[in-house]
Amino acid sequence: MRRLDRLSIGGLVTLLVLVVFALGSLIGAGGDPDAIVGPRLQPPGSGWWLGTDNLGRPVLPRVMEGVGTTLLLSSVAVLVTAALSATFGIVAGYRGGYLNELVMRLVEVLYSFPAIVLAILVAAVLGPGQTAALASIVLVTIPLMTRLVRAAAVAVSQRDYVTSAVISGARLPRVLVRHVLPNVAGTIAVQGTYALSVGIAVEGGLSFLGFGVQPPQASLGVLIQQGGTYMIAAPWLILGPGVVLVAAILAINVVGDGLRDRLEPRETRTLT
């Protein structure tokens, strides 16, 4: 914490607040998200802090549930992405040759698709739902992370300590896990934060279009889509989840910038 700047600490605090916010929905801290507590489309007040939706349900607990759904889906997808990218990137970067070419060509094919188009294609194949959202996030985030991990692995594989390990008779799995992986872990961590922000945006866009999380389950994308119908009559329906979505993406990117500055301090950066 001492090594992070104030902006990064602010982003980290925002993330922790959102996580607590999401965990609160599991214990019913905000109330029952499916309970009808008052008249429909009521503005924020003492009885319901963020107003009620088109069915008379409180918006606050639904936003809390939506934050939890979005963060959980995105986090699981990024963990899968990190595992796959680390494996493919390290092996391709260290071994090179035809294996490197194969991995890079597959990555470039995925990278050539616009993110939302690729997500919609995945949803069309798998059908709308959480599985489609999870797979979409993985396929959207894996190309860039794999390329960067591979570049870092190429640089690390040329270091003297890796050469010494090979000469001493260390087997390939030991070289990759013991010597290469720890030295590209910073790249994986930094890119993981950016992938998480992309994953949140992809889930939001996919659910907004009706291909991601399906009602009655709430996610930030679902809530924004439902609130868009009443944007003039009840703007609080879209304002709550929209602000939370933007805050989550900004906070994660700020934390990622802080991690990059600390884990990759030798990279040259300019203001122009």
Tell me how far apart the 2 most distant CA atoms of the chain are, in Å: 75
- For residue 228, tell me if it sits in a domain: yes
Domain that holds residue 259: 69-214+221-263
Q: Is there a domain that residue 41 lies in? A: no
> Residue 78 is encoded by which pair of tokens?
């990024």
Q: What is the pLDDT of residues 25-54, one digit of tens each?
A: 778 777 778 788 878 888 887 777 788 888
Per residue in 202-232, pLDDT (tens digit) is 999 999 998 989 988 889 999 999 988 888 8
Q: Hey, what are 221's tokens?
A: 């994308």
* pTM exceeding the 0.85 threshold for the entire prediction: yes
Residue 84 lies in a domain: yes
The answer to whether 199 and 77 have CB atoms below 8 angstroms apart is yes
Instruction: Specify if 20 maps to a domain.
Output: no
Domain CATH code at residue 100: 1.10.3720.10
C-alpha dist (Å) from residue 54 to 22, 32, 65, 236? 23, 16, 17, 12
- Name the domain count of the chain: 1
Is 3 within the bounds of a domain?
A: no
Residue at 59 is within a domain = no
Structure tokens at 4: 């992070």
**Cα–Cα dist 114/116, whole Å:** 6
Confidence at residue 271, expressed as pLDDT on a 0 to 100 scale: 36
Distance CA 266, CA 7 (A): 21
- Whole-angstrom distance, CA of residue 68 vs CA of residue 56: 22
Is residue 259 included in any domain, yes or no? yes
**Block means of pLDDT (10 residues each) for the chain, length 272 residues?**
70 91 80 80 80 86 91 94 94 88 91 89 91 93 93 89 85 87 89 93 92 89 90 89 93 87 56 36
Residue 251 lies in a domain: yes
